[in-house]
A and B are shown apart, each in its own frame.
Chain A
Amino acid sequence: MNIHEYQAKEILKNYGVAIQQGVVVESPEKATDAAKTLADQTGTGWFVVKAQIHAGGRGKGKVQETDSNGVVLAKSLEEVPEKVKNIIGGTLVTHQTGPQGKKVNKVLIAEDVYYPGESDPKEFYLSILLDRAKGCNVIMASTEGGMDIEEVAAATPEKIIKEWIDPGVGLQPFQARKVAFALGLEGKAMKEMVKFIFALYKAYESTDSSMFEINPVLKTSDDKILAVDAKVNLDENALYRHKDLAELRDITEEDPLEVEAGKNGLNYVKLDGNVGCMVNGAGLAMATMDIIKLSGGDPANFLDVGGGANAETVEAGFRIILKDPNVKAILINIFGGIVRCDRVASGVVEAYKNIGEINVPIIVRLQGTNAEEGAKIIEESGLQVTSAILLKDAAQKVKDVLS
């Protein structure tokens, strides 16, 4: 589960990770008060106004309505309301949002941490994530702060430092020192970085996170180490033991169809294609999307109805797929194990009748338990539904309806 920057920073702060302080606001009217409070707390005279959406690239991204960037600097308290107004309520388009962009409902007004001083401020990259192959967590760091880490990894892999954490003993001080020295830090800044890494790892473990990305981590001109941005991804399987974190979910950041599917116990991911699909099982669902592509179409969605496919879930699935205007055909692919195909077939027929007008061709492929009985129900229903037993027949039928 993704959360906002301001929420992520709140979590970090609770575990003693030093952060760039800020106040979140939902309207421009509250901006001045928020900035004043922040100025009193931190002494900052400049303010960074940051759009809060679940996507990266905000700094370079543009708010469509006003042409403002998603992260801007206000060099006085007076400038803050205008800057906030140009972002809040607008649609921010970044390289991660897609061309439709994301609506900005909240902005974070943050202190300026790049103030001049004894040394130059320096940005770093730091993340904690799961190394699937090794079965343990890994800390990744780089001197190339503020950059896209995938680009750094591709162009200059030697600039990425990795420390794997032994699950038996946890993070050790020498590992944190190794990272700090490898980043070229010394003296107070080195010690601050060690403290920062320890607090960060503690936060990661305690919250059952699956990814922390702090980009950039800043060494200030007075040798403090701060998280200037924070991306936190929580393990959804562990939310049952973190009720407080589960509440951080912001459904306005999710596709409304995906939210609706979730309420019906369906696992749905909206895509851009023209052939909808409904499948039991995630692997078979992905394979069905691939079949659609090989048949000359493009999948309009991923939809796993799970192990309990019945009339209700099939109908809910239909309704969700049909809300997508791009859908020109629907392929239902069920491999019956515990799920009986005749029941799914009855569900299809029932859903079809309940929904009424369905103007796209439907191909139903049923295999496994009671597949033939299922096919018979479909054929005898008199509905405009084609049935198939073998996967390659289903593929051919998709090809036929698209041509």
Chain B
Amino acid sequence: MSVLVNKDSKIIVQGFTGSEGTFHAEQMIAYGTNVVGGVTPGKGGQTHLGLPVFNTVRQAVTEAKADVSVIFVPPAFAADAIMEAADAGIKVIITITEGIPTKDMIMVKEYLSNKDVRMVGPNCPGVITPDEAKVGIMPGFIHRKGTIGIVSRSGTLTYEAVDQITKVGLGQSTCIGIGGDPIIGTTTKDAVQLLMEDPETEGIIMIGEIGGSMESEAAQWVKENATKPVVGFIAGQTAPPGRRMGHAGAIIGGADDTAEAKMRIMKECGVHVVESPADIGETMARVLGKEVVGS
């Protein structure tokens, strides 16, 4: 078991023939991911990277039985691409695109709300279940199959956590990059819940950052529902208020969305909070009572 994506997922790439889509589709295929084709409107019928190109997501679902889509479409067209995927019956939509206007995402979220679909992202590195499916832009080789689920709003900081978990000898069940935008499809709480319900996951790492209240909501949920340990970190303890720190969603608006406030709530809810991002892996090993292999 794992969550969201596995070796049986039939994955399509929207924005398949563009430069980003091509590069990352190649990487995903090289990792062994079951990519069944891609969608580029107007290029249907062609072959790209040895796989079929479809004009519409609907065709990809009908003809290639696609059930997961990863989106590399530029920001101006991304909202449309997400809604097309949802309309076609795709079950898991992973949106990598950075820079989608907030107004578009409000509309997308509303559109998806009454459909049986899960969206991850946008502005995220994607989702990986090691040795089964890499659906996104993360470097595959740092991962190792294991039992730790990782949820994070960031890209490279997720890789850092993955690397530490691999180095302490634990490995990952599924890593979910939920994205750094103010409006995202899968929240910290949603992702933590998925991993909590996954029998193969023994421990969860939850990496947040300044801005918004997602980590506090996830922590409240953990307090009431946790059956496995959660280790948490919040980036931006030294970030000044009112300034956007790279991610569109990483901005301190009030007293509740500082790193300090989130870390306090997480501690109160029983999350093992680390002060230093260098301690994520070792803390998880210690909490699980595992011996740290090497370092």
Contact = CB atoms under 8 A, between A and B. Distances in A.
26 contacts: A132-B211, A133-B214, A136-B110, A167-B107, A205-B103, A208-B103, A210-B102, A236-B248, A237-B99, A267-B246, A269-B243, A269-B245, A283-B155, A283-B180, A283-B209, A283-B247, A283-B250, A286-B246, A289-B236, A290-B237, A293-B237, A299-B238, A302-B243, A337-B156, A368-B139, A369-B141
Given A130-B183, A283-B207, A291 B278 contact: yes
Contact of A130 (B102, B154, B210, B276): B102
Interface of B: 75-76, 99-107, 109-110, 137-139, 141-142, 152-160, 163-164, 180, 182-183, 207, 209-214, 217, 233, 235-240, 243-250, 254-255, 259, 275-279, 295
Contact of A241 (B76, B212, B213): B76
B239 A367 contact: no
Contacts of B210: 286
Contact of B137 (A267, A291, A338): A338
A284 B154 contact: yes
A291 B276 contact: yes
A-B complex: 5 closest residue pairs judged by Cβ atoms: A283-B154, A282-B246, A281-B156, A283-B157, A238-B101
Interface string A224-261: 00000000000111101100000000000000000000
A402 interface: no
Considering residues B159, B164, B238, B247, which has the most beta carbons from chain A within 10 angstroms of its beta carbon? Answer: B238
A284 B155 CA distance: 8
B103 A135 contact: no
A287 B100 CA distance: 25
A284 B101 contact: no
B150 to A, nearest CB: 12
Given A290-B238, A367-B160, A391 B278 contact: yes
A240 B76 CA distance: 8
A284 B102 contact: no
A210 B164 CA distance: 37
A135 B154 contact: no
B102 A283 contact: no
Interface centre among A210, A241, A298 (most CB of B within 10 A): A210
A137 interface: yes
B236 A290 contact: yes
Nearest to A396: B278
Interface in A86-142: 130, 132-133, 135-137
Contacts of A278: none
A135 B183 contact: yes
Given A208-B101, A280-B156, A287-B233, 13 more contacts: A135-B110, A136-B106, A167-B107, A167-B109, A208-B103, A238-B104, A241-B101, A271-B240, A281-B155, A283-B180, A284-B157, A289-B237, A337-B138
Q: Which residue, A130, A285, A289, has most C-beta atoms of chain B within 10 A?
A: A285
A367 B99 contact: no
A390 B233 CA distance: 18
A265 to B, nearest CB: 13
A368 B163 contact: yes
Contact of A281 (B102, B154, B255): B154
B128 to A, nearest CB: 12
A335 interface: yes
A326 B75 CA distance: 38
A61 interface: no
Contacts of A292: 238
B185 to A, nearest CB: 10
A292 B107 CA distance: 40
Most-contacted residue by chain B among A210, A284, A395 (CB, 10 A): A284
A281 B160 CA distance: 11
Contact of B100 (A130, A210, A237, A284): A237
A202 to B, nearest CB: 13
A40 interface: no
B109 A135 contact: yes
Given A210-B102, A368-B142, A291 B277 contact: yes
Contacts of B209: 283, 286
Contacts of A205: 103
A187 interface: no
B106 A137 contact: yes
A168 interface: yes
A304 interface: yes
Contacts of B250: 282-283, 286
A367 B157 contact: no
B182 A130 contact: yes
Contacts of B155: 281, 283-284, 337
Given A130-B182, A205-B103, A283-B209, A289 B249 contact: no
Contacts of A283: 152-158, 180, 207, 209, 235, 246-247, 250
A336 interface: yes
A294 B235 CA distance: 13
Contact of B246 (A132, A304, A390): A304
Nearest to B250: A282
B46 to A, nearest CB: 26
Contacts of A210: 102
B101 A237 contact: yes
Contacts of A285: 245-246
Contacts of B138: 337
Contacts of A240: 75-76
B260 to A, nearest CB: 11
A150 interface: yes
A171 B110 CA distance: 15
A289 B239 contact: yes
B238 A132 contact: no
Contact of B180 (A133, A208, A282, A293): A282
A30 interface: no
Contact of A167 (B75, B106, B163): B106
A241 B277 CA distance: 39
A150 B242 CA distance: 13
A318 to B, nearest CB: 19
A60 interface: no
Nearest to A204: B103
Given A130-B102, A167-B107, A287 B180 contact: no
